[in-house]
């Protein structure tokens, strides 16, 4: 028998190494996303307020990209060394802060002059953020669970048994999950293990008699209570309409300003000179991109305004769909040009649009799709 045949003969034909999501993968990716956004916004604000100070003296300048790399390394070490449930959450938080500090200096990486203020840096950071948002949506999607993935989840949650932190509510959830394992026949070999684990849980009283939610769970509970108490259908509808009208008005500022000076050759030339001085426009193509930005912002603002009018006149299903679609287009496409010409001041606009989009999605889920 050759060495190759010996290797093949010892290989387990039933081996399964396919990827399985962590139980709290969705929560952790959201933590990374939020800390990433905070890191970029806070860094830019701090540098703007302090006049871009130099950390070091003489030839020495410790750029914050180094601190970002250090935080990323610390996050990696935490996740590969510690198995505790909180370690993954802490790693997600530190990783988001680190990648924000790292990607904020992208202008230095893509220019031969190490230009931190390179105009294309802002849209690059924004695209990176959008890709992270897309990843978060993919991770948080509800997927059918195989017996194997369900057992991975159960074993991960069993850490609370080891930590003596299992409440009665969590215990019942685990028992139900273990019962689901034996209902599927794709992995009968795991049924005996699930039964023994279920018997163990049923024979033991929970250590934590009262469920004490962590910080994130308390935040979720507070948001749910706030939504149910204050965001009734009428109030949420009014908030949504105000948000759409505000978003439309905000998006109309640049088009109105541009068209107001377009008939005055002197003012228009001064404006173009400012764009050239700030290196936002370098040639005729640059002017075309600015005009495209103005046209797209103005057109989309009118669509958002139409969506608000439809909701006001009780065409809620069409109005919310149109508002949601137009905001997604604004966030994923139009804002790329806005970030280029307005730089990081666009963070406020993007955050406002995200908030209005979330309100519309919640309204549709609560009062339209679940009718």
For residue 109, which phi and psi values (nearest 5 degrees)? -80, -25
pLDDT of residue 112: 87
Q: Is the pLDDT of residue 316 over 80?
A: yes
Residue with tokens 């948002």: 133
Predicted confidence (pLDDT) at residue 9 exceeds the cutoff of 60: no
Q: How confident is the model at residue 5 (pLDDT cuts 50, 70, 90)?
A: low
pTM (two decimals): 0.83
φ, ψ of residue 208 to 5 degrees: the values are: -95, 105
Model pLDDT for residues 86-135, shown as the tens digit of each residue: 999 999 999 999 999 999 999 998 998 888 889 899 999 999 999 999 99
Predicted local distance difference test score (pLDDT) of residue 291: 87
The encoded tokens of residue 22 equal: 């962590």
Measure CA 257 to chain center. 32
Q: Taking a C-beta distance cutoff of 8 angstroms, is the pair 147, 364 a contact?
A: no
Confidence tier at 79 by pLDDT (50, 70, 90): very high
Query: Looking at residue 92, what is its pLDDT?
Result: 96
Q: Where are the domains of the chain?
A: 25-139, 147-214, 231-368
What does the pLDDT look like over 270-297, one tens digit per residue? 888 888 887 788 776 778 888 899 999 9
């Amino acid at each position: 028998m050759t060495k190759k045949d010996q290797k093949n003969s010892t290989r387990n034909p039933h081996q399964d190494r396919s990827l399985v999501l962590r139980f709290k993968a969705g929560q952790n990716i959201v933590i990374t996303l939020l800390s990433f956004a905070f890191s970029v916004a806070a860094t830019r604000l701090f540098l703007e307020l302090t006049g871009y100070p130099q950390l070091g003296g003489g030839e020495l300048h410790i750029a914050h990209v180094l601190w970002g790399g250090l935080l990323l390394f610390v996050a990696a070490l935490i996740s590969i060394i510690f198995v505790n449930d909180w370690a993954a959450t802490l790693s997600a938080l530190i990783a988001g802060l680190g990648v924000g500090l790292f990607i904020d200096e992208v202008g230095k990486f893509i220019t031969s002059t190490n230009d931190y203020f390179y105009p294309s840096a802002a849209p690059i950071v924004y695209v990176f953020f959008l890709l992270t948002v897309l990843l978060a949506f993919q991770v948080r999607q509800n997927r059918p669970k195989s017996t194997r993935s369900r057992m991975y989840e159960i074993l991960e949650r069993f850490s609370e048994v080891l930590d003596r932190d299992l409440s009665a509510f969590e215990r019942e959830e685990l028992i139900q999950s273990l019962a689901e394992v034996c209902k599927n026949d794709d992995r009968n070999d795991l049924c005996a293990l699930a039964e023994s684990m279920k018997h163990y849980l049923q024979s033991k009283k929970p250590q934590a008699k009262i469920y004490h939610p962590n910080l994130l769970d308390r935040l979720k509970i507070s948001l749910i209570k706030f939504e149910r108490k204050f965001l009734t259908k009428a109030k949420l509808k009014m908030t949504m309409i105000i948000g759409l009208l505000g978003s439309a008005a905000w998006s109309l500022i640049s088009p109105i300003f541009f068209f107001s000076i377009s008939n005055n050759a002197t003012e228009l030339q001064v404006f173009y000179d400012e764009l050239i001085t700030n290196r936002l426009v370098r040639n005729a193509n640059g002017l075309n991109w600015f005009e495209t930005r103005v046209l797209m912002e103005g057109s989309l603002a009118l669509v958002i305004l139409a969506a608000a009018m439809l909701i006001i006149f009780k065409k809620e299903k069409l109005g919310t769909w149109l508002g949601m679609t137009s905001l997604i287009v604004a966030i994923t496409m139009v804002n790329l040009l806005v970030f280029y010409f307005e730089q990081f001041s666009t963070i406020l606009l993007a955050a406002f649009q995200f908030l209005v989009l979330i309100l519309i999605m919640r309204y549709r889920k609560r009062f339209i799709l679940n009718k």
